[in-house]
Amino acid sequence: GSGHSLELSTAGLQAEFTITAKDLYGNLRGVGGDNFRVRLTGVDSTSGLVQDLSDVQPGTYRVVYTVTKSGTYDISVVFGASGINQSPFRMVAQPARRHLGRSVPTGSGLTLGTAGVQ
């Protein structure tokens, strides 16, 4: 696998990376149809959607995913019963940018206060 989204993503935003399929000897596979599965586990769990791009780039697969919580995840890329080279990958999802329209104040000081008392 390759791509920045194997190391860092943002919660709530779609991220992607590519898988380049190779044979036992490191040669690029010239055909598609490989059955890769992608699973993210950590603060939350989700699956990645694997798209075969072999019509355009033989042996290439695009993976898209969206995590909803910030934190650390392991991305497992599996073919058959085995993980691919270097799988699982450790990825950190950073929090999304603040959204003031969704920010909510709380606390008794919003509705009740006494002058001179902290």
Q: What is the DSSP string of the chain?
A: -BSGGGTEEETTS-EEEEEE-B-TTSPBPS-----EEEEEEESS-EEEEEEE-TTTSTTEEEEEE--SS-EEEEEEEEETTEEPTTPSEEEEEEPPPP-GGG----SGGGT---TT--
Region 60-86: what's the mean pLDDT?
91
Across the range 70-93, mean pLDDT stands at: 90
pLDDT tops 70 at residue 83: yes
| Segment 90-102, tens digit of pLDDT | 999 999 877 677 7
Q: What pLDDT shows up at residue 64?
A: 94
Portion of the chain with pLDDT greater than 90, in percent: 44
- Residues 6 or more apart whose CB falls under 8 angstroms from that of 1 comprise 17, 18, 19, 20, 63, 75, 77, 84, 86, 87, 89
Predicted confidence band of residue 43 (pLDDT cuts 50, 70, 90): confident
